Structures are given as C-alpha cells and as structure tokens.
Structure 1
Amino acid sequence: MMVWEAWLSLAVASVLLASLSMRVAPKELLALACLGILIFAQNVMGTELLPTPSQAVAGYGNEALITIALLFAAVAGLEFTGGTELATGWLLRKARTLTGAQTRLLIPVAALSGFLNNTPVVLALIPVVSDLSKRIGSSSSRLLLPLSYAAILGGMCTLIGTGTNLIVASKIEQSIAKGVDLQPLSFFAPAYIGLPATVFGVAYMIFFSRWLLPERNAAISAGDDPRQYTVEVQVEASGALVGQTIEDAGLRHLPGLYIAEIQRDDGVIAAAKPNEVLRSNDVLILVGALDSVVDLRKIRGLITPDDQARKLKVPAWKRTLVEAVVSPRCSLIGKTIREGRFRSHYNAAVVAVARGDKRFSGKLGDIRLEVGDVLLLEASPSFLHRRSESRDFFLVSAVEQGIVRRPERAWIAVIILALMVLTASTGWLSILTAALLAAVAMVTLRCCTSSEARRSIDWSVLIVIGAAIGIGEALRISGAANAIAEGLLTLAGGSPMLTLAAIFIATMVCTELITNYAAAVLMYPIALRAAAGLVGVDGVACNPSPFIIAVMIGASASFLTPFGYQTNMMVYGVGGYRVLDYVKFGLPLSLIVFAVTMVVVPIVWPFF
C-alpha cells in the first residue's frame, strides 16, 4: 500500500511526462514547476518521505551535469574555428553520390560522437551537411536524420559520448557510496552494446534510407535569391588548394556559383575546366547567390585578394559578415572600390558586390559603385550600429551564415579536444577535469570567446536534468519507485529476461515522451528496485547492473519522435521532416538496439 507521498511523487512525475510530451510550455519551466510542487509539499507537511529543499536541488551540483555544460563550452571552440570541417572536410569533399556521402559522413560521426557529447557534434556538423548535400545534388533530409541517429548510436559507446551515460555513471557511483553492491563503469563499458548497435544501425541507414527517407525541403527556406554576387578570392600561397583541380577543391559543387574567370600573371582563363589545376596566388572571379558566396568562405586556402580582411583594424574573431545597400548620399558613388579606399574609409573589406542579376568582369576593386549596389562586407559588429544610422547606406544587416570566425585556430581546437579525449579515456584525468581544462584552453587560446562559450551551453537541458534528478529522488524516498518496480516484476512473472525487456521498453517510451536525461534519472531507481526483487534459485541476490545498463541504453535509444532527444529536434525543422518520418525510419533502429541489448547484456553482465 503506497503512502500519500508516493502517490504525490508518482502524480508529479506523470504530470511532467504528459506535459513535456504535449509541449504545453517550455520544458525547463515544466520541470521546475513539478519540482516546486514537491518542495512545497515537503515544506508544508514536514514529511520525511519527500526530499528536503536541499535534497531536491542537489542535482544542480551533480558532477555529470557540470561535465555536460563544460563539454558544450569545449566544443564551441571547434564550432567557431571550423575544426569540424577541418577534421571531416578532406573526407566529405570526395563524396559524389548519396551512398558515398552517407558512408563518409555517418561512420566518422559515430566514431566522433563516442568521444564528444553528441549534441554539439551534430550542431557543428549541420552546416557541413548542408554544404555536402549541395555538392551531391541531394536534399539535406537524406543526411540530417541519419546524422542525428549516427551521433546517438556513437554516443552509446563511451561514458562521455552522451550526457545520459554520464548521468547513469554518476548515479552508480552514488549508489556504491550508499553501500549498493555495484561495480563502477569503465570508460568503454557501454561499447559492449553501443559498438554492435552502431555497426548494425549505420549499415541499416546506409542501405535503406533511400527508400525510407523522402526528399524534403526545409521548413524555412529563403528560396532562390535573384541577386548575383560577384566575388573575388585568391588562392593562398602555399595553401591547401595549391596543386588541386577546381573539382577537387570543391569549387564546382556550390549551387548557383560558377567561376567566371581565373586571373594569373601569364593571362586570364575565361572558361576554366573542372580539371584546371590551381596555382599559388591565382585570383578567382566567381558569380553566384549569397548562400554559395558564404559557403565559399568556408573553403580553406582561399583568402580575400591582397589579404584585405586581415588589414582591418579588427581581430578576426570579432568580424562578422554584413550586407549593405549603397544610398545616393554615399561619397564613393562613381568611384571604384579601390579608388575610394573603401577599407580605410569604413574599416570594412568588400567581399562581394551584387547589382541585380548583372555579372561583373574583372577584379572586384575595379567595380564603380552605383546607387542600389548590394555590398557583402567583412567588418566589426560595431559597423552595424554606426552605419545603420549613416546616410551612406539604405540598409545594413548582419548575415547569419558563416559562423566560422577563426579558421587559423582550427588545428588548435582539434588538438585541445583530442587531448581531452585522450586524458579522459586513459583515466589520467577525470572526465570533469578534462572537460574543464579543455573549455578553459579554448577560451585562453582564442578558439572562442568566453561569451561564445557561455552561449553555446544549452541551459534548458541542464535545468531539466537537475529537476529530473530531484523528482527521481522523490520517487525513491517516497517508495513510489519500489511500487513501480514491483508492478514490472509482476508483469514479468519474476523472469530476469522479461524484467530486463520491460525496463528497457519503459525507459525507451519515457525517452520518447520526455527527454533522455529525465528518462534515465526517473528509471534508475526503478531498475535498482526491480533487481532487488529478483532472487536466484539458491537465494542469490540479482545483479542490478544488467537493468541499469538497460536504462542507460534505453534512455539513449530515441529514434521514434523528434522530441525525445536533443539532436532529433535540432534537425527537425532544418530537414523539413514530419513526425511520421521519424517513426518509419527510426522503428527498425529501435528494434536493432533492443535486440542487441537483450543478447549482449546477460552475457557481459550476468543476472546472478
């Protein structure tokens, strides 16, 4: 017979599940409201069967939660330096077909997600996938959902691959401290299940996505831009593109962008062929839409002619892209960009010029400015404020694309994260310490600023985790977890295998309804209690590890809806998906992970 505290805890957890699944309010507000109900009840009634205020909010000091925040900050340096593109671009640029692109994308992503929190990995790779889909002439919907799923699968393989694993590992250590007979998980312990699930899952996605994933258009699309920008870039001396063909350099597959001419010391090439080899200091005149011009800036080895951008009185990490429309009052009208000394006059470098659909010939600096010309500029953020009040331009607006601001520090970011993974995986440093040092190093070495690192942290995720830990503690203290566990044992008929299946499925359903973090925290005490209710033939107590591992894997196995896992939600709008796409493509993946779990867990972690 459950006491009123247990019924209240169960009701609060159920309300949280229902409200999160129906998206009636922001998830962090719902989580805090539910936690607040329990704290209020304990304060008013003074009962010992509900967590005290200090116990309820103790989750916000949880080591795993802090580690997740630091991992977000650490990966920000990779994002802002273009380190992800540096690490994967050499492989992805060679993709020519959808199957080739998926193979070259999903395998490295799954491997990378085993050592980096998969949420920021997906965040950093979404622009890369967008570029890749343009190059192969396919919709990004064929790549984005597999990207999310591959990151989830890869994240199952190590303790730091996903915050879910960190949370469960932290709960195990707390249980051990309380005297529960458990063994702490090693860094690669989840790989017993994660690795085979990833192999089978990635193979399934590569071979079946063409039939199960439709071509979708993004939910928000700017459409075709009628403006044709003329942009001038220079092949950096001794840079990565010297000696490469136009095809290999990735200059042929940006949609709507073409090379108008190549200017060299020994002449001009007006119609360059794909196999034309680029030389040091070649000047390329290209024509295309804004999106492709911005994508062009991500290709390493291309610089502004005469390195105009680096001559600005603004450090690279502070610059941004700005569109500005020339007004009749601009003092440079009738002058060429070079004659008007645009850079010195405005402390901004002209990246490209558009005049309707007109195509310019010759160098960018020789273009004479006219009223209505649209200039794409590289400038400081203050340019926006100064020039929006100036009469020289009709309109000044920031271009949101092109987040890579410090490409020269990409290798530094890659090395920092590699050292973080190495020190954490070998046990030389704790995961928290390694993540902390990596985050500090990213800011100190100017891979990102402290404000960028702070903005990269998904605070709503951390708030939900902390509140879910408090609600999970209420389920344990009040005895509600015991009651649920006994119900599962009754349904399973005392069979360890059926109990394992019931816990896995219940956790997976919770994950789809709420979030992976909340599901792991809420199901952990239930799994622990279910194991305590199973006894072997000789009265031997059941090992709780199999059921805890089922919670760990089941909480990450979110493939059926866009709502259960952060990365699924991130690609939802960008890929133009419908909820049915997740069900149709994700159900076989859920069955694969379930089957692997049921086969592997009893072998690696025996029940008795």
Structure 2
Amino acid sequence: MAALDWQGWLTIAVVVATLGLLLWERFTPDKVLAGAALVLMGTGVLAPTQALAGFWNPGVLTVAVLFVLVAALKSTGAIRWIGDWVLGRPRGAFAAQARLVGIASPLSAFINNTPIVAMLTSAIEHWSRRSGIAPSRLLLPMNYATILGGMCTLLGTSTNLIVAGLVHQHGGMPALRMFDPLAVGAVAAVAGGAYLLTLGRWLLPERRSALQQAADTREYVVEMLVEAAGPVAGISIGQARLRRLAGSFLVELVRDGDVHVAVAPEVRLQGGDRLVFVGVTDAVRELRRLPGLRPATEQLFKIDDAGGQRTLVEVVLSPYSPAVGKTLVESAFRSRYNAAVIAVARRGERLRVKPGDAVLQAGDTLLVETDAGFLRRHGGGADFLMASEIDGAARVHRPRALTVLALVGAMILANTVFGIDILLSAVAAAVLALLAGCVRLAELRRSLDLRLIVVIACSFALGAALERSGVAALVAAQLMAWAGADPFWTLVLVYVAAVAFTELVTNNAAAVLMFPIAVAAATQLGVQPMPFVIAIMMGASAGFITPIGYQTNLMVYGPGGYRFTDYVRVGLPLSLVVGVAVLWAIPRFWAF
C-alpha cells in the first residue's frame, strides 16, 4: 500500500464512499456515480475525456440503442405474446416450472431479460389466480432462469455488453462476438436449471402475492353514502376534510354508476354519492363519526374485479422512483400519476397501516386504482420496475409484433453470420423499427432509461481511476498472493469478488470495478486475460442471493410475496452451483 500516491488513496476513498452510498440508498445510483466521476475529474485523477469516456463507449451506446427495440417489443405486444406462449397451459406447478425454465432461459439469451420478466410476471399472476397455485412457486425460478439465459450471449444482459465495451476500450484483446460467452454460459444455465427443477423447487416458499393478500377487502375497505340532506352535500371533498382523515383515505367516488378515481379535492359532493375509503381495520369508526355520511348497506367494491370502469394496476417501485423514501402525500403520488393506492405490500406482507402513512421503499408493490391510460403514460418509465393491469386484456398488434421480432432476428443474424458490429446492427434495427411504426417517439421517451445510462457510463470513470492510479494492480497482486500465484485460484478469487460486488451494488458497476483488477491479475501472471474477462461476465450477472443483486430480482419481490430470506434460501445454493459450473467450464473453453 505504501507504493500508492495521493491519487491512489483518493481513488480508494472515492470507491469506498461510492459503495457506501449505494448501500445506504439515500441517493439514487445515477447521482452517486455521477458525483464520483465529478470528484475524480475535479481532483485531476482523471482528465475530462477519461472521466466521460463511458458515454461514447460502444457497449454503453449499444445498451442505449437497444432501448428502442425493447420499447418496440413492448408497444406492439410482442413481449406479451411471447409471455403467453412461454407459459402456455400447464397442468400443475412442476409442469409450469419446467416450461418456464426450459423456454425463458434460452429466450432471454436473445431478448433483454428485463422486459421478459415484466411480461411473464403478469402472465404468471393471471394464471396463478385461475389455477390456485401460488405465484411464489413460479416467479423466482422464472427470474433466475432468465438471468442464467442472459449470460449466454452479449445481447442477453447489459452486463455482457458493458464488458464487451471495456474489452474494446482496453485494446490488446480480440473483440468479443455475440456467442463468445455461450459455452460457459450454457454450462451455467444447464446446471442452474437442473438445480431449480430439483432441489430448488422444494426450497421455494408458499406465499400469497400482494393482490391475493388484498383480496378480502372487508378488512380495510369501507364504503359510505352521502346523505342528500346532510351537511357535506354540496361542499367540496377538501372542505369536508375527507382528504385529512387519520385512519383512511378516499380512493374513488361512484356517482350515478360512473366511477371517478383519484378524485380531486375540488370535486363537490352530491347526495347518493358512494365513497370508497381504504385504511386500517377500524377506520369505519372514524368514518361513522363524520356528519352527513352513512355506511353503505352493501359493498360493491371488489379488489379482484377490475372490469367495467375500474382499472386496477399492480406496480413495483424502482430505486429511481421519486416516491421512494417518502409517503404518498409527500411524493404527491395521486396527482403525479392520477392514481389512488389501495394497498402496499413489502417483504411478502401487506402493510397493516393506512397506505398514506407508509414510507415507501424500492421493491414495494402497490395496488393502485387509476384510469385506462395509466400504462400508456407510465408503464415504460423508470419509476416502476413493473406495471401490469389486473386482468387486463392482451393488446397485440400482430403485423408490427412480427416486424419487430424479425428485426431482432436480423440484428442477431447480421452480427453472428456476417460479422457486422453489434452496435451498427442494433442501430440499423432500431431505425427500421421507428420507420415501420413499431414504436412511437413518445413511447420511446418513456422507455429510455437515461439514469441507467448515466450509472453505467459514470461507472467507467471508477474503473479507469482504479487502473490509472495503480490500485487495480495492487489489488490484483494481493489476489495473486492469496492464490499462491496460481492462475486458476486467482480466477476463483476474481469470480467470487465479482459475485460479492454484484450482491452489494449494481451488476454493471460490479463488472466495471472488477474489470481492471482482472486484467491486471492476468498481466502480472503472464497469462491470457480472456478467462478472467469471462469470469467477470458470469460473476457480475450471478446476483441470486439478495433482492438487490440483480434488477429483475426486485421485479418479482412484491408480486411473489417474497421475503429477503427466500432469496438467500433459494439463491445461495444456486449461486454455489453456478459458480462451480462456471469455474469448471472457463479453463476448458478459454485456455490460460
């Protein structure tokens, strides 16, 4: 450590501070990584061109361009089409698990796993309600299968594209092609799939989803009628103080058979209005004390009936959501999204408090009542990891869906058969998708996750600082010392470190941080760097043990009713199985 100068020590301090802030989750990852890049640039550790080089890295640009194709797959209904086909009509839990693992895994090698998980989650929830089988028996195996499939190609996950971009930027190594990770990734996918369908399926919990937990609305939904001659008839909701109740809040107003959701405080009450309140179990006592309201003799509101004018949507909050860390009132959720929250579920349990009093967290599942345009406005945005309409009809535009699927196939063919650069083929496919009307510019703007691009691009600054300050070489030397300068055991340590970083921070940041260390280790050992590069690819995607280890883990967290311990119980053995498979396969396909 004495060999480091002030730049090396500053780099270590910035990396440690960055990891700490990411774990603290007080600030969004894009702000944390952008701040780290600015510090490194401002202190002179990196020149501006070095600190910002990630923004024009081919891997990052490819990830950005692929957002166009992902948006096209969503808007045309192609993903929903695929999701219904993958699930099919299984006769039982094991048949459904086998079908999901057997089809979703290879499918996610060619289509980014995030939209696949989103659409399959919706399909699984619908099927689970019909079959009576808990979605917790299906969602986690499906999610893990898509992660395993994504390891197999450059397109399967953004992590592989980022590593390919790092290889291109580093120089001295051959460019990675579409199927270069396939041999090792396939071994890991087969081993992981076998585990999921044997021991893993017995470790899965039997949990109810957020929707199933909210199905008995009698516990916390109260319906009141406005008396025609009462004191609240003719005054606004705000004047009647119906938005300031201690134990409940107004979800909807039904007038003359018309349902009005997320009603504004200026709306004036009329005799005969039916008001639906959601709150704690004894909220009816508070409501009965309000003059001019009386309990409805029959309850018409049903959580599991989303037909007619009522639109119920299930959303999972992303770490980027402006509502995270705030209550519904503080985040202005109702006015921002024109949606009223009916229930909040966290760690597999519905919160037994007034939804408006809960401080929201990333991964929380919210059941909201809203209008029919909610998914069009917010379904592709970064605020929600997933948004699906309860019992919403599948909307598939078959000609355009076939067009965008053909474009994705042509992009893969161009790269693998004709050797066209993946960025160029992705740009061509994206432009054609726009020209063919498969995605509109408004939908594209909602789907483009600029914050993710900032996270990835600014992570490159940390990697560059580790390499240029000598920290990467120093860490690599320490790993070699622990491994006795043996290439294989050094590879093991590199892989384990990549997995550990992935479980603690984002998978892309883990890849960028570990890449210079892995290359430095190979250089000091005098061996080929590609085995270590492949180890980074696999390890940075192997986030099975925690809900934050991989983005799709959070997507199924609430809908499956999972708890943190479920990921440890099912994911830890899977991580060990995949690790053994990867470390067995790498030396056999990539010689030192």
Normalised by the length of structure 2, the TM-score is 0.70
Partners of 1:329 and 1:465 lie apart in 2 by: 47
1:54-106 CA deviation, whole Å, 9 max, x = no partner?
Answer: 21011011111121122222122222222123234345232111111111112
Partners of 2:508 and 2:569 lie apart in 1 by: 24
CA contact (8 A) 2:12 2:471 kept: yes
1:378-435 CA deviation, whole Å, 9 max, x = no partner?
Answer: xxxxxxx9xx9xxxxxx98336524854534332332232223322332453222222
CA contact (8 A) 1:325 1:396 kept: no
Deviation at 1:324, TM superposition (A): 9.2
Tell me which of 414, 417, 435 is aligned to 2:405. 414
Q: Which residue of 2 aligns with 1:433?
A: 424
Q: How does 1:309-388 map to 2 (within 5 A)?
A: 325-327=254-256, 375=309
Is 1:143 aligned to residue 138 of structure 2?
Answer: yes
Partners of 2:97 and 2:115 lie apart in 1 by: 19
Q: Which residue of 2 aligns with 1:442?
A: 433
Is 1:66 aligned to residue 66 of structure 2?
Answer: no
Q: In structure 2, do the counterparts of structure 1 residues 572 and 588 end up closer, same or farther at CA, with 3 Å as the change threshold?
A: same
1:211 aligned counterpart, secondary structure: helix
1:417 aligned counterpart, secondary structure: helix
Deviation at 1:375, TM superposition (A): 3.6
Partners of 2:202 and 2:591 lie apart in 1 by: 39
Gaps of 5+ in 2: 219-251, 260-297, 302-306, 312-334, 339-368, 376-388
Partners of 1:226 and 1:23 lie apart in 2 by: 33
Is 1:523 aligned to residue 514 of structure 2?
Answer: yes
Q: Which residue of 2 aligns with 1:123?
A: 118
Is 1:95 aligned to residue 90 of structure 2?
Answer: yes
Partners of 1:62 and 1:205 lie apart in 2 by: 36
CA contact (8 A) 1:324 1:375 kept: no
1:19-44 CA deviation, whole Å, 9 max, x = no partner?
Answer: 212323211111112222212211xx
CA contact (8 A) 2:124 2:135 kept: yes
Q: How does 1:30-45 map to 2 (within 5 A)?
A: 30-42=32-44
Q: In structure 1, what residue type is equivalent to 2:512?
A: V
Q: Which residue of 2 aligns with 1:454?
A: 445
Partners of 2:107 and 2:145 lie apart in 1 by: 10
Q: Which residue of 2 aligns with 1:152?
A: 147
Q: In structure 1, what residue type is equivalent to 2:25?
A: R
Partners of 1:325 and 1:407 lie apart in 2 by: 34
Q: In structure 2, do the counterparts of structure 1 residues 128 and 434 end up closer, same or farther at CA, with 3 Å as the change threshold?
A: farther
Tell me which of 7, 11, 14 is aligned to 1:12. 14
Q: How does 1:126-525 map to 2 (within 5 A)?
A: 126-176=121-171, 180=172, 182-219=173-210, 223-224=214-215, 325-327=254-256, 375=309, 397-398=371-372, 400=375, 401=389, 402=392, 404-408=394-398, 409-525=400-516
Gaps of 5+ in 1: 43-49, 228-322, 331-354, 359-372, 378-384, 389-394, 535-540
CA contact (8 A) 1:406 1:447 kept: no
Partners of 1:324 and 1:431 lie apart in 2 by: 52
Aligned residues: 445
CA contact (8 A) 2:60 2:165 kept: no
Deviation at 1:5, TM superposition (A): 0.3
Partners of 1:170 and 1:198 lie apart in 2 by: 24
CA contact (8 A) 1:326 1:374 kept: no
Is 1:562 aligned to residue 547 of structure 2?
Answer: yes
Tell me which of 27, 30, 33 is aligned to 2:29. 27
Deviation at 1:328, TM superposition (A): 8.2
1:122-153 CA deviation, whole Å, 9 max, x = no partner?
Answer: 22322122223234321222222222211110
Normalised by the length of structure 1, the TM-score is 0.68
Q: In structure 2, do the counterparts of structure 1 residues 420 and 133 end up closer, same or farther at CA, with 3 Å as the change threshold?
A: farther
Q: In structure 1, what residue type is equivalent to 2:214?
A: G
Q: In structure 2, do the counterparts of structure 1 residues 329 and 438 end up closer, same or farther at CA, with 3 Å as the change threshold?
A: closer
Q: In structure 2, do the counterparts of structure 1 residues 5 and 219 end up closer, same or farther at CA, with 3 Å as the change threshold?
A: farther
2:189 aligned counterpart, secondary structure: helix
Q: Which residue of 2 aligns with 1:592?
A: 577
Q: In structure 2, do the counterparts of structure 1 residues 500 and 53 end up closer, same or farther at CA, with 3 Å as the change threshold?
A: same
Q: In structure 1, what residue type is equivalent to 2:506?
A: T
CA contact (8 A) 1:562 1:579 kept: yes
Partners of 1:405 and 1:448 lie apart in 2 by: 14
Q: In structure 2, do the counterparts of structure 1 residues 396 and 146 end up closer, same or farther at CA, with 3 Å as the change threshold?
A: closer
CA contact (8 A) 1:98 1:136 kept: no
Q: In structure 1, what residue type is equivalent to 2:7?
A: E
Is 1:81 aligned to residue 76 of structure 2?
Answer: yes
Deviation at 1:356, TM superposition (A): 6.6
Partners of 2:528 and 2:576 lie apart in 1 by: 25
CA contact (8 A) 1:79 1:404 kept: no
Q: In structure 2, what residue type is equivalent to 1:544?
A: P
Q: Which residue of 1 aligns with 2:222?
A: none
Q: In structure 2, do the counterparts of structure 1 residues 34 and 220 end up closer, same or farther at CA, with 3 Å as the change threshold?
A: farther
1:574 aligned counterpart, secondary structure: coil
Deviation at 1:437, TM superposition (A): 2.8
